[in-house]
Amino acid sequence: MPPEIAALPAPPGDYAELVRRLRAEGARLPPRLRQVAEHMLAHPEDMAFQTTAEIAARAGVQPSTLVRFAQALDYPGFSDLQQVFRNRLRRESSDHRARLAALRGEASGEGGMARTLLEGFIRASQASLETLSGRTDSALIETAAARLARAGTVYLVGARRMFPVVSYLAYAFGKLGIRAVLVDNVGGLGAEQAAMAGPGDAMIAVSFAPYTPQTVEIAREAHRSGVPVIALTDGALSPLAVECDILLEVVEADFGAFRSMAATFALAMTLSVATAEKIRADA
Amino acid sequence: MPPEIAALPAPPGDYAELVRRLRAEGARLPPRLRQVAEHMLAHPEDMAFQTTAEIAARAGVQPSTLVRFAQALDYPGFSDLQQVFRNRLRRESSDHRARLAALRGEASGEGGMARTLLEGFIRASQASLETLSGRTDSALIETAAARLARAGTVYLVGARRMFPVVSYLAYAFGKLGIRAVLVDNVGGLGAEQAAMAGPGDAMIAVSFAPYTPQTVEIAREAHRSGVPVIALTDGALSPLAVECDILLEVVEADFGAFRSMAATFALAMTLSVATAEKIRADA
DNA sequence: TGACTGTTGGAACAAACATTCCATATTGCC
DNA sequence: GGCAATATGGAATGTTTGTTCCAACAGTCA
């Protein structure tokens, strides 16, 4: 027979469980605590962000009551209860990030080095796709596609790590029957290849940190010559951001020193097919 | 005459404005502050929830730098900057939830063509990654990496849709200090480029249905000359399957006429880093 | 080279914070 | 009605937090 240790009950681990718990035993809570529970369910966002003093004031109780409330639900303190609300707000993306961090932490877990690396790159790709799904303004893609659809020729610029993306775009555009030129810098003639572009054309420039100077330079030149430039880049700090007409932002997760390209490719695919659709719609 | 009060500029009131501001003047920020800006844009959720100490550690700066960063953007202190991120998260979480519901509600299509395409490509990529995770033999990757690690030079062969993968491998191997030659077929000299390979080297050949004849031909030639060939392809029915020493199978999902490349890239990344690790272990 | 301006790291600081404690009030029970 | 148990308000407390300050450093122009 086990000794009578007060088996301290586990607090609800997530928001859904918390709500279930309150529904079950919320009725037999003391008046002030019930008041807190009601406020909590009515304003879950306040619970995530505000301080004890603020929440207490809004709920019409003392800060200490909040702590007591949390402890009545078996949390060590109010902060632990609050964490549940914060996690609820950030949803799955934190899941991915935590898993990535864990993977990075273990030197080489079970399954061997290759397994660890593979899982790491897969997680990084998944996280990137997740972010792309949540944060991308599809209207902006449509705008970009419309611009590309009107272009006589689409010039594709990108180097080093991003060259795969533009070479893919060259393939996709070709297959879709859209006239495109891959600025591949063969023979060092990148600038000359791109200089063919005029205001009736368009350019897709792809560059992520650390930005290849030549890509930025070519985009700048084109932009200043009146060529519509669509930038595929990693954010507002990119030097491409100021040298473009339409900025498509992509956030890629990394694993080790290597950044995923999954989101960038998905966006590139979308952009090319959307352009083809626009052309078809116009005709 | 009014006294010379320094008309203190107003800080960005919401996230969109903050991004706009950074786009305009982010480039001329001091290095450390720009580092903060980059971290901030890459991990906006961290900015909403974590404390100065935590954020600073992740961004690789001092807590004081965060305060300085906020003040550089005309906020009185870091807390005021953080408030922008919290507000964004509050609003966006309801946005995101609504969008998800909308997407679930309507079968597909009315949410805009671009959205439909984007979600489709994202889903295809995720499915591919899922499959890769589930059915890849990591021991085989280790074997392949060991083979590559022993090679004098790695020859990279792939064309058309798969050219992005080999061009990425060329980038990765270069960055990792592994001698590699990208067989890019410039000037139609692909066969000659690949003919340099000998038994002391190795070749990675990438081809998926419909297989590019030249890629298959080059791999066959190399294999018969005693060059270790590692094939990255889509299954046992591939013509590459018989002309290689190690067969790495990848199943990619497609959306419309376009197949994802997410799994192939993840595998390529794994293979290159695993090779570098093997080389390091051998030394 | 040498002053000057701007940037950075790290310790010191004061304010804000969640939490604890205790006296008081309320409730339930005999 | 009186006692015990619980609930509550509000001050006290020890952390943790964001912030400030200063010395050291880097870059720039004379």
Q: Tens digits of per-residue pLDDT, B22-77?
A: 777 777 788 888 888 888 877 787 888 888 988 898 888 889 999 999 888 888 88
Q: Give yes or no for A119 touching B (CB within 8 A).
A: yes
- Beta-carbon separation of B27 and A91 below 8 A: no
* Proximity of residue B65 CB to strand C below 7 A: yes
Residues of B in contact with A117 (CB under 8 A): 269-270, 273-274, 277
- Whether pLDDT at A268 is above 70: yes
Residue B6's pLDDT is: 44
**Closest chain A CA to residue B165:** A164
Q: Which of residues 196-255 of B touch A (CB under 8 A)?
A: 255
User: Residue B56 belongs to what H/E stretch?
Assistant: helix B52-59
Of A6-20, A122-136, B104-118, B149-163, the range with the lowest mean pLDDT is B104-118
Do B26 and A141 lie within an 8 Å CB cutoff?
A: no
Q: Note which residues in 79-118 of chain B have CB less than 8 A from chain A.
A: 86, 89-90, 93, 96, 111-115, 117-118
Give residue B3's pLDDT.
40
A195 touches chain B (CB under 8 A): no
* B133 has a chain A CB within 8 A of its CB: yes
Flag whether residue B171 sits within 8 Å of chain A, measured between CB atoms: yes
Of the ranges A106-110, A210-214, A249-253, B215-219, which is most confident?
B215-219
The DSSP result for B63-108, as a single string, is HHHHHHHHHHTT-SSHHHHHHHHHHHHHHHHHHHHHHHHHHHHS-S
Domains of chain B: 1-103 (1.10.10.10), 133-282 (3.40.50.10490)
Q: Which of A86, A122, A165 sits opposite B132 (nearest CB)?
A: A122
Q: Please indicate whether residue B116 or residue A272 has the higher confidence score (pLDDT).
A: A272
Q: pLDDT by residue (tens digit) across A111-139?
A: 578 888 998 899 889 989 988 887 788 89
- Residue pLDDT, tens place only, B142-184: 999 999 999 999 999 999 999 999 999 999 999 899 999 999 9
CA angle B61, A105, A119 (to 5 degrees): 120
CA–CA separation, A230 and A236 (whole Å): 14
Task: Please report which confidence band the pLDDT of residue B95 belongs to, taking 50, 70 and 90 as the band edges.
Answer: low
The CB density around residue B34, as the number of other CB atoms within 10 Å, is: 16
- Distance between the alpha carbon (CA) of B68 and the C1' atom of C4, Å: 22
Which residue, B204, B258, B128, B271, is CA-closest to A125?
B128
CA distance A30 to A27: 8
Picking from B20, B129, B168, the nearest residue to A122 by CB comes out as B129
Q: B168 to chain A: which residues are within 8 Å by CB? A: 161, 163-164, 261
pLDDT at B263 over 90: yes
How many angstroms away from the CA of A198 is the closest CA of chain B? 26
Which H, E and C letters describe chain A, residue by residue? CCCCCCCCCCCCCCHHHHHHHHHHHHHHCCHHHHHHHHHHHHCHHHHHHCCHHHHHHHHCCCHHHHHHHHHHCCCCCHHHHHHHHHHHHHHHHHHHHHHHHHHHHCCCCCCHHHHHHHHHHHHHHHHHHHHHHHHCCHHHHHHHHHHHHHCCCEEEEECHHHHHHHHHHHHHHHHHCCCEEEECCHHHCHHHHHHCCCCCCEEEEEECCCCCHHHHHHHHHHHHCCCCEEEEECCCCCHHHHCCCEEEECCCCEECCEECCHHHHHHHHHHHHHHHHHHHHHC
Give the bases of strand C that a protein CB approaches within 7 Å.
6-11, 16-21
3-state secondary structure of B231: strand
Q: Please answer yes or no on whether B121 and A94 come within 8 Å at the CB atom.
A: no
Q: Determine the Cα–Cα distance for residues A223 and A228; give it in Å rounded to an integer.
A: 6
Residues in A touching B136 (Cβ below 8 Å) = 118
Q: Do B163 and A171 touch (CB under 8 A)?
A: yes
Q: Residues A156-178: pLDDT tens digits?
A: 999 999 999 999 999 999 999 99
Closest among A271, A258, A257 to A147, alpha carbons compared: A271
Query: Given CB atoms, is A139 within the 8 Å cutoff of chain B?
Result: yes
Highest mean pLDDT out of A50-64, B95-109, B182-196: B182-196
B71 Cβ nearer than 7 Å to chain C strand: no
